[in-house]
Amino acid sequence: MSKVLWSPWRHDYIKSFSEGMVRECLFCRLAQLSDDYAYILYRGNKAYVVLNAYPYNSGHLMIAPYRHVASIDELDDEELIEVAKLVRLCINVLKKALKPDGLNIGVNIGRAAGAGVEGHVHVHVVPRWIGDSNFMPITSGYKPLPIALTETYGLLKEEFKGKSFNSISKLKAS
């Protein structure tokens, strides 16, 4: 028998995507905004890294290609390689800046798989710490995040500073 882990703090976000509603793509829109306003941490040639404004955990990053495609198999080779390199960069930055005990990395393709923005593929990189899941979200409907979004952005932006696309290929996982 499988157990259910409720995450009620996500309900308002999910409700905002009603069936048949035509909305501007979040990731296409974010790419047009200023970095500080949109929490964009890094802009590559084919993709960018953004701090999730509705995070599961502090430091929850997303990597999105600039091109609007629904699935990772629709990316061309250059886009796919850059997204993979940005995953590696995010791992290195998060390990250095936030020192997580582990990481969740994933891609949700399609609504049934949990894609909140199903028309624009993106990769989640979520830092995890031992004990970061507790009774609070279940009993109170609140998920405590130990650091403010703006503070997390500042901390991570500093780590991304000076990184170039060429330097990504030279990074090694620590």
pLDDT per position as a tens digit, 53-78: 988 888 999 999 999 999 999 999 99
pLDDT at 60: 94
Average pLDDT value for residue range 128-155: 70
The amino acid sitting at 125 is V
Q: What is the pLDDT of residue 123?
A: 96
Q: Which of 138, 39, 50, 57 is nearest to 102 (CA)?
A: 57
Provide the CATH number for the domain around residue 113. 3.30.428.10
CA terminus-to-terminus distance, the chain: 38
Query: Mean pLDDT, the chain, as a whole number?
Result: 82
Domain of 101, in residue numbers? 22-167
Domain assignment present for 55: yes
Most confident of 16-25, 79-88, 137-146, 157-166: 79-88
Q: What is the pLDDT of residue 20?
A: 46
pTM attached to this predicted model: 0.77
Would residue 27 count as lying in a domain? yes
More confident of the two residues 150 and 166:
150
33 secondary structure, DSSP code: S
Lowest mean pLDDT, pick from 12-21, 38-47, 116-125, 155-164: 12-21
Burial class (CB in 10 A: 0-12, 13-18, 19+), 98: middle
Q: Please list the active-site residues.
A: 122
Helix residue spans in 3-127 (DSSP H): 11-15, 26-32, 35-38, 77-97
Is 174 domain-assigned? no
Whether residue 17 is contained in a domain is answered as: no
| DSSP percent split of the chain into helix, strand, coil, nearest 5 | 40, 15, 45
So what's the pLDDT on residue 163? 75
Backbone angles phi and psi of 99, in degrees to 5:
50, 55
The total number of structural domains in the chain stands at 1
Is residue 14 one of the residues assigned to a domain? Answer: no
**Do 171 and 92 touch, CB atoms closer than 8 A?**
yes
Band (pLDDT 50/70/90 cuts) for residue 14 is: low
Q: What pLDDT does residue 145 have?
A: 64
In this structure, is residue 115 part of a structural domain? yes
Determine, yes or no, domain membership for 7: no
Number of H helices, E strands in the chain: 7, 5
The answer to whether residue 125 is domain-embedded is yes
